[in-house]
Structure 1
Amino acid sequence: MDKTTTMSEAIARYVADGATVALEGFTHLIPTAAGHEIIRQRRRGLTVVRMTPDIVTDQMIAADCVAKVVGAFVGNSSAGSLGELRRRVEAGTLELEECSHYGMICRYLAGAQRLPFYPLRSYAGSDLPRVNPGLRKVVSPYPGPDGGEPEQVYVVPPVHPDVTIIHAQRADRRGNVQIWGLTGIQAEAVYAARHAVAVVEEVVDDAVVRADPNRTAVPAHAIDAVVACPHGAHPSFAQGYYDRDNAFYRRWAGISKDPERLKAWLEEYVLGTRDHAEYVAKLAADGTWDRLAVGSAPSGSIDYGRRLRKEHP
């Protein structure tokens, strides 16, 4: 029942060359440390699926890990462009399959529910079907409004990653994963995949999870491996653990714009470190973690209640 392992072992086991890898976490809890370990293990030919391809995707592309990106919003989270992704798309050396945010949600839902497609209305009038032939129309099998002609609706195909990797605040050793703050599409991305790895800020006792069961976003039966990795979402944030590193996001625009500077950054901070603990230590030297420290903001407590045993006469 104990699914805990190291990051190195989890990536070695579940991420093979040519695999389809989903990295999910929306705005916070982005599995950056997992992406860095994929770079260290020099995986090649990956298809990266991410609702919002961002800095970690740019880094993996620059390290020659990625052949294709599947996603929606692409960018450096309000701070600029992804230089390497842009260079390779414009050069025709990286395949980019574009959807909308909701389109990506629907693809995960279809994958999780083992459906052949998922319908949505939001592509009507959009240019996306022109650039992505996988976005198609079907005729509804039911009459239209007021008994009229059946409607035509857009549909998206399912996505079935070989492995989904998520980051979260905590999990127990069996793999019950708990998340609070902003939540994204983590659960659906996990259920859509063949395997799933949960990277967490801390591994906690079963009793901690049982005391607050409604925070369990992904249950143990869907998780193959649990990796404890403090600060593993940097430069994004983990609600309650550390803040978003806005200064790094701003710096990344300049780093990724210059291929030589980007290569040097990867050599120093990723390929030049044995693991994420060394990466964390390097950032500690310039006061990063002090700068990103957060104060306490308890959310209160609730009483789930318990049945009282009554003696029968």
Structure 2
Amino acid sequence: MQSDLKGIVSRMRSGMRIAVPVDYAGVSMALTRPMIEAGLRDLDLVCVPTGGLQVDMLVGAGCVRSVETSAVSLGEAGGAPRFNAAVKEGSIKVIDATCPAVHAGLIAAQKGSPFLPLRGLIGTDVLANRPDWTVIDNPLSDQKDPVVLIPAIHPDVAIFHAPMADRHGNVWIGRRRELAPMAYAARETYVTVDRIVEGNLLADEMTGAGVLPALYVSAVAEAPKGAWPYGLWGEYNADVDELKRYAAAARTQEGFDAYMSETAKQGEPA
């Protein structure tokens, strides 16, 4: 259960479908560079429900084949430069989605259902460009009542960062309950945490309600400030200056490569 960054990445393979969280929900930036250094290729990323720096770095490093997402950006730092460039060049496939649709697909997988019906997509351009989303008439209605069937999303792996885990493999995700469906739907879930604590988080009344049980966690690695330069709820704020520095550097592939080389020499943040 307890591992390290290289140990976790050694369990990943090229061609995997990997679910990653939105920037405020605990992005495992600590795993991003090891994934790049391992030479992973043809990854199919599922953003839950949007992507940011982690996605942009993996795209810039040539690791990504497709991205299913509602959006990819660097928030206050602007657009995601390597992702945007790859879209223009046609070097990656973008699978347009909406936030509810991504969550619906994960919940369908969690429930063991092949699909989940969803309203609100009828007549949209997103639906027009998703041949895998099927429109049917509600079989429980005696009137015309179209609904969209969203296929279950089954990631090979889900990865995220959280404040803490215990030595039993229970992970505290607090109010970030959107992380749980990722783990429920994925075949394996790898989590990096700021710290490993003693005791049992699931058995403690003060923490139990915010815990993802070890049953759904395949491996945990300790990585202090492992979400940096993103923030982590209740722990530290995002480093907006660093995000802006990346955004400026990564406007070109040469700038991206230089940034990655420079930051590799700097090591982990203090």
Q: TM-score, normalised by structure 1?
A: 0.81
Match for 1:256 among 250, 255, 259?
A: 250
Contact 2:161 2:192 in 1 (8 A): yes
Cα distance, 1:24 vs. partner? 2.1
Q: Could you tell me which amino acid in structure 2 is paired with residue 142 of structure 1? A: L
Point out the structure with the larger strand share: 2
Deviations 1:70-125 (A, max 9, x none): 11121112321111111111111100111011111111111111211111112123
Deviations 1:143-169 (A, max 9, x none): 2xxxx4141101211111111112111
Is 1:109 paired with 2:107? yes
Match for 1:124 among 102, 107, 122?
A: 122
Aligned residue in 2 for 1:226: 220
Cα distance, 1:205 vs. partner? 1.1
Match for 2:183 among 187, 190, 200?
A: 190
Runs of 4+ in 1 over 6 A off after TM superposition: none
Q: Could you tell me which amino acid in structure 1 is paired with residue 193 of structure 2? A: V
Match for 2:35 among 13, 30, 38?
A: 38
Rounded to whole Å, the distance in 2 between the matches of 1:205 and 1:25 is: 29
Match for 1:156 among 122, 129, 150?
A: 150
Rounded to whole Å, the distance in 1 between the matches of 2:262 and 2:256 is: 10
**Structure 2 residue ranges without an equivalent (≥5):** none
Deviations 1:236-279 (A, max 9, x none): 11122211111122223212212211111112224x57xxxx32
Match for 1:100 among 93, 98, 101?
A: 98
Q: Which secondary structure state, in structure 2, belongs to the residue aligned with residue 86 of structure 1?
A: helix
Deviations 1:209-228 (A, max 9, x none): 53324343311111111111
Cα distance, 1:135 vs. partner? 2.5
Cα distance, 1:133 vs. partner? 2.0
Q: Which secondary structure state, in structure 1, belongs to the residue aligned with residue 248 of structure 2?
A: helix
Q: Which secondary structure state, in structure 1, belongs to the residue aligned with residue 220 of structure 2?
A: strand
Contact 2:23 2:52 in 1 (8 A): no
Is 1:88 paired with 2:86? yes
Contact 1:54 1:76 in 2 (8 A): yes
Q: Which secondary structure state, in structure 2, belongs to the residue aligned with residue 21 of structure 1?
A: strand
Aligned residue in 1 for 2:263: 269
Cα distance, 1:208 vs. partner? 5.0
Aligned residue in 1 for 2:21: 24
Rounded to whole Å, the distance in 2 between the matches of 1:89 and 1:207 is: 45
Indicate the percent of aligned positions where both proteins have the same amino acid.
Answer: 26
Is 1:247 paired with 2:236? no
Contact 2:22 2:51 in 1 (8 A): no
**Structure 1 residue ranges without an equivalent (≥5):** 285-313
Q: Which secondary structure state, in structure 2, belongs to the residue aligned with residue 243 of structure 1?
A: coil
Aligned residue in 2 for 1:75: 73
Rounded to whole Å, the distance in 2 between the matches of 1:25 and 1:204 is: 25
Aligned residue in 2 for 1:210: 203
Rounded to whole Å, the distance in 2 between the matches of 1:120 and 1:217 is: 28
Rounded to whole Å, the distance in 2 between the matches of 1:195 and 1:133 is: 28
Structure 1 residues 151 and 241: alpha-carbon distance in aligned structure 2, compared to 1, 3 A threshold? same
Contact 1:163 1:195 in 2 (8 A): yes
Q: Which secondary structure state, in structure 1, belongs to the residue aligned with residue 76 of structure 2?
A: coil
Q: Which secondary structure state, in structure 1, belongs to the residue aligned with residue 75 of structure 2?
A: coil
Aligned residue in 1 for 2:167: 173
Moved more, 261-270 or 218-227: 261-270
Query: Aligned-pair RMSD on alpha carbons?
Result: 1.7
Q: TM-score, normalised by structure 2?
A: 0.93
Structure 1 residues 130 and 62: alpha-carbon distance in aligned structure 2, compared to 1, 3 A threshold? same
Structure 1 residues 52 and 228: alpha-carbon distance in aligned structure 2, compared to 1, 3 A threshold? same
Cα distance, 1:192 vs. partner? 0.7
Say which one has the larger Rg.
1
Rounded to whole Å, the distance in 2 between the matches of 1:214 and 1:207 is: 9
Contact 2:171 2:201 in 1 (8 A): no
Query: How many residues were matched structurally?
Result: 268
Is 1:63 paired with 2:52? no
Contact 2:81 2:250 in 1 (8 A): yes
Rounded to whole Å, the distance in 1 between the matches of 2:62 and 2:100 is: 29
